[in-house]
Amino acid sequence: MELTMAGALNAALRDAMRQDDSVVVYGEDVGRLGGVFRITDGLQAEMGTDRCFDTPVAEAGIAGTALGMALYGLRPVVEMQFDGFSYPALNQVISHVAKYRNRTRGRVGLPMVIRIPYGGGIGAVEHHSESPEAYYSHTAGLTVVSPGTPGDAYALLRASIAFDDPVIFLEPKRRYWLKEDLDLPVTAPPIGEAIVRRAGTAATLIAYGPMVNTAMEAATRAADESGWDLEVVDVRTLSPVDMDTLVTSATKTGRALVVHEAARFAGYGAEIAAELSERAFGYLAAPVLRVTGFDVPYPSAKIERHFLPDADRILDAVARLLEY
Amino acid sequence: MSVEVSSAASGPSSFPGLPKAAWQDVAAEGALSAAQSHDVELSTEQLRSLYRLMALSRRVDRQAINLTRQGALGVFASSHGQEAAQVGAVFALEAEDWLFPTYRETVGTFARGVDVVEILALFSGSWHCGFDPYQYRVAPLTTPLATQALHAVGLAMAARIKHDPIVALTFFGDGAASEGDAHEALNMAGVFGAPVVFVVQNNGYAISVPYRLQTKTSSIALRAAGVGMPGIRVDGNDVISVYGAVKTAVDRARRGDGPTLIEAVTYRLEAHTTADDTSRYRSDDEAAEWRVRDPVERFLRVLRDGGVVDDAFVAEVEAEGEATAARMRDSLFDAPAGDPREMFDHVYAARTPQLDAQRALLEQELRAGEEH
Ligand SMILES: Cc1ncc(C[n+]2csc(CCOP(=O)(O)OP(=O)(O)O)c2C)c(N)n1
Ligand SMILES: [Mg+2]
């Protein structure tokens, strides 16, 4: 069955709710409307208003009440309507959601998922194209997941809902309409494992979420246009990251490039580059490079394409990488 | 400095038939009724229990202050003067109900039955939360202001979804009431009819900042009107009134009739914490006025006059207080610091490879330390 990523996420929520009564879904406009991106479409009609409901416009309230629900044994899956509007909930997420297990000495784990559509590329107005993954990945106690394909969107969301720790689930909104032929339920490696999406020998492209597709496109073009055989690793779980898979790939190819939409400085790629240079130093023929957004507030729609990394920017960097 | 105003806004009506604007003004003060009296059902046994918990609270609080001065606790936020507000409120809960306290509610948490040494872990620095929330149905003492109110609302919403007739009670302060999370909690509880009781201990101060700088209104209870729930303002130094008001709210919540906001007006007789200096922001005279309304002595007078307690009972409670204080001293002095390796154990359900590596690094440092 051909499914979009949005459809796969919707199917994952529906299947999880059918299987487990303790799964509840709520947020702004997720009930009657089915979410502004329709990810929760039809859930309220099927499951009722106790299981899928709309809330007041209150992001801290959504995250904070989800904690209380998880404390009481439910598995809340809540939606932040947009990346830029997840910030009012940061106090709850950083001070409590992330720390509760540790604070209680392991006695209270919080099975809850906070879904956030993130990233740019859809021509949105200000505050609708943010890439907040570094904030969450920097916070101990959070598990940060971001799928790059429809199949992974299904599998990783199901796994996140079944997970016994809080998951920040970052949905690459520009890929919501990406299609894939899928047999549900999709199975995939668990949370915490990266995947080699394309095997190659010349260099490793490391990507996640919205950039997986871009990296794959770059690898295809590199093969066609230049005869470069690139490996693409999809990180999938940003934190705790599967460093072994990344190190193995970089060690094999001897060259690595991290790609993300988010700004460069103190971004997610900086951590990966630093870790690779520590663990694979002796195998690397070149410094680990980064292809990222710029260190500017996310630009307005008409110029966003100049901010976003694309296959061209990746291939330019690969050329530099291969020159060493 | 001049501000440019467009002529359409400042001039006369832009066309002759433009209707006049009209609006209603909300009165600056909502309506607080005059105090009404209510019967409260409390057996002799319950009255004695209440007194016992308040007197023990007073002793436990004093001991915590002493232990802080002696270095066994790093810091402590005293409840001296607020025993009626905390104990009276908690006394209205049933065993299956949940409590969501702040750093201020050590004695309310104690009255709920949590081991006092476990409560004080937060202040002794042995662990952030020293007790098992599931054992007592008490959430960890919370320091980011008002955040726990949302946890109470969420838990109460979950209980409603599961059709469990339980109630969540959360405390917060007059300062915390200004936080966005407090508003979101009240509003969401109202919208969902969550079985929550919000008890605001208005003790006059948020560290040094007085009540009048938190709000232009005369009572925090007035906010209930803005979120569609009953609001109650009660003398927080009168334990019978606090209990009566909270019990009414707890019963209402349990019946499925939704949340209540209660403002308990009280006073913190001690400093904000042991690290605070009240002389920089309030007078001794002010505190002296409140000392006259001491909630423990006041309740004891009532009980003695009513023949509910006698000297023997009071002495018995005092002895229990001394024994509890002695146990606190013994347990908190020279309490082992704990194994630093444990800091890696509860970040996630299972230790990650990264945490294993960092634990190994610490292990090396510890070994090197032992060798020196
Ligand atoms: C979000 C947040 N901001 C600031 C502080 C620092 N702080 C600790 S207690 C306090 C005053 C709180 O006053 P109130 O809510 O009236 O409670 P009380 O201490 O009087 O019981 C402040 C500002 C905090 N703990 N959390
Ligand atoms: Mg106060």
Per-residue tokens: B223: 């906010």
Provide the phi-psi class of A240: left if phi over 0, else alpha when psi is between -120 and 50, else beta: beta
Q: Say yes or no: B246 and B362 in one domain.
A: no
β-sheet bridge partners, residue A76: A24
Looking at the structure, do residues B27 and B90 belong to the same domain, yes or no?
yes
Q: How far apart are CA A26 and CA A167, in angstroms?
A: 15
**What CATH number is associated with residue B61?**
3.40.50.970
Which of B147, B151, B347 is opposite residue A102, by nearest beta carbon?
B347
Q: Do A64 and B181 touch (CB under 8 A)?
A: yes
- Type of residue found at A300: S
Of A225, A250, A228, A246, residue with least CA distance to A237: A246
Ligand 1 contact via B252 beta carbon (within 6 Å): no
Q: CA B239 from chain center: how many Å?
A: 15
Nearest to A213 by CA among A255, A167, A246, A260: A260
Same domain membership, residue B356 and residue B271? no
Distance CA A33, CA B15 (A): 40
In what order do the strands lie in the sheet containing A230-234?
A195-198, A230-234, A203-207, A256-263, A289-293
Nearest-angstrom CA–CA distance, B325 and B181: 36
**Same domain? B185 vs B258:** yes
What's A4's DSSP letter?
E
Comparing alpha-carbon positions, the chain B residue that sits nearest to A111 is: B349
Shared-domain flag, residues B320 and B349: no
Burial class (CB in 10 A: 0-12, 13-18, 19+), B185: buried
Q: What is the pLDDT of residue B7?
A: 38
What is the 3 state secondary structure string of B167-200? CEEEEEECCHHHCHHHHHHHHHHHHHCCCEEEEE
pLDDT at residue number B18: 73
What DSSP state is assigned to residue B34?
P
Assess if residue B4 is contained within a domain.
Answer: no
Tokens, residue B275? 């690290």
Judge if B223 and B166 occupy the same domain: yes
Question: If you average pLDDT over residues A73-83, what whole number do you get?
Answer: 98
**Distance from C-alpha of A138 to C-alpha of A140, rounded to nearest angstrom:** 6
**Which element (helix H / strand E) includes B262?**
strand B260-265
Annotated catalytic residue B267: no
Asked if the C-beta of A302 comes within 8 angstroms of chain B's C-beta atoms, the answer is no
Q: Say which ligand is closest to the CA of B82.
A: 1
Predicted local distance difference test score (pLDDT) of residue B1: 33
**For residue B139, which of A315, A237, A110 has the smallest C-alpha distance?**
A110
Residue B3, domain member (yes or no)? no
Look up the domain containing B225 and give its range. 21-332
B124 contacts: CB under 8 Å, gap ≥ 6: B72, B73, B74, B332, B335
CB contact under 8 A, A107 and B133: yes
The answer to whether residues B324 and B350 belong to one domain is no
A253 burial via Cβ count (<10 Å: 0-12, 13-18, 19+):
buried
Looking at the structure, do residues B107 and B202 belong to the same domain, yes or no? Answer: yes
Q: A188 phi and psi, to 5 degrees?
A: -155, 165
What pLDDT score was predicted for residue B353? 96
Rounded CA gap, B273 and B167, in Å? 30
Strands A52-54 and A75-79: unpaired
Q: Nearest Cβ partner of A68 from B153, B191, B352?
A: B153
Q: Are B35 and B238 in contact (CB under 8 A)?
A: no
d(CA A151, CA A131): 22
At B225, which amino acid appears?
Answer: A
Please tell me the predicted confidence (pLDDT) of residue B19: 72
Q: Distance (Å, rounded) from C-alpha A112 to C-alpha A100?
A: 12
Residue B145 contacts A where some CB pair is shorter than 8 Å: no
Domains of chain A: 2-181 (3.40.50.970), 195-323 (3.40.50.920)
CA gyration radius, chain A: 19
| B40 domain-assigned | yes
Among B79, B82, B207, B282, which residue has the most ligand 1 atoms within 8 Å of its CB, making it the best to mutate? B207
Does residue B104's CB lie within 6 angstroms of at least one atom of ligand 1? yes
> Are B137 and B211 within one domain?
yes
pLDDT tens figures, A131-176: 999 999 999 999 999 999 999 999 999 999 999 999 999 999 999 9
Task: Give yes or no: residues B322 and B367 share one domain.
Answer: no
Q: Determine the pLDDT at residue B15.
A: 66
Domain membership of residue B320 (yes or no) is: yes
In a domain, B75, yes or no: yes
Residues B104 and A189: their CA atoms lie apart, in Å, by: 46
**Separation of alpha carbons A87 and A80, rounded Å:** 9
Q: What is the pLDDT of residue B10?
A: 40
Q: What is the pLDDT of residue B334?
A: 80
Q: Which two tokens stand for residue A46?
A: 């099927």
**Any A CB within 8 A of B191 CB:** yes
* Residue B98 C-alpha from the chain's centroid: 13
Query: Based on the structure, what is the number of domains in chain B?
Result: 2
Q: What is the pLDDT of residue B14?
A: 56
- Cβ of residue B141 lying under 6 Å from some atom of ligand 1: no
- What the block records as the tokens of B73 is 């606790």
For an interface test with B, the pick among A99, A104, A191 (most B C-beta atoms closer than 10 Å) comes out as: A104
Return the bridge partners of A237, or none.
A145
State the pLDDT confidence band at A282, using cuts at 50, 70 and 90.
very high
pLDDT one-digit tens code per residue, A299-316: 999 999 999 999 999 999
Write down the pLDDT at residue B34.
87
Give the whole-angstrom CA distance, residue B333 versus residue B68: 10
Q: Which-ligand-closest: CA of B85? A: 1
Q: Are residues B301 and B355 in the same domain?
A: no
Q: Which residues of A69-87 are buried (b: 16+ CB within 10 A; e: fewer)?
A: bbbbebbbbbbbbbbbbbb
Q: What are phi and psi of A259, to 5 degrees?
A: -120, 125
Residue B13 lies in a domain: no
Q: Is A13 helix (H, G, I), strand (E, B) or coil?
A: helix
- Mutation pick from A50, A85, A105 vs chain B, by most beta carbons of B within 10 Å, is A105
What are A187-226's pLDDT values in tens digits?
Answer: 999 999 999 999 999 999 999 999 999 999 999 999 999 9
Domain for residue B11, yes or no?
no
Name the residue type at position B186: L
The A residues from 57 to 116 touching B (CB cutoff 8 Å) are: 58, 60-61, 63-74, 76, 88, 91-92, 95-96, 99-109
- Distance in angstroms between the alpha carbons of the first and the last residue of chain B: 69
Q: Is the pLDDT score of A36 beyond 80?
A: yes
pLDDT at A294 over 70: yes
Which pLDDT does position B22 carry in this prediction?
74
Together in a domain, B97 and B229: yes
Inside any domain, residue B196:
yes
What is the rounded CA–CA span in Å between residue B337 and residue B265? 39
CA distance A159 to chain B (A): 15
C-alpha B93/C-alpha B167 separation (Å) is 8
Report chain B (372 residues): mean pLDDT per 10 consecutive residues. 37 62 69 88 95 98 97 96 98 98 98 98 95 98 98 98 98 98 98 98 98 95 93 95 96 97 96 93 95 96 94 98 98 89 97 97 95 78
ipTM for the predicted complex: 0.97
Q: Which of B38, B255, B281, B341 is catalytic?
A: B281
Q: Which residues of A138-177 are buried (b: 16+ CB within 10 A; e: fewer)?
A: ebbbbbbbbbbbbbbbbbbbbbbbbbebbbbbbbbbbbbe
End-to-end CA distance of chain A: 45
- What band does A235 get if pLDDT is binned at 50, 70 and 90? very high
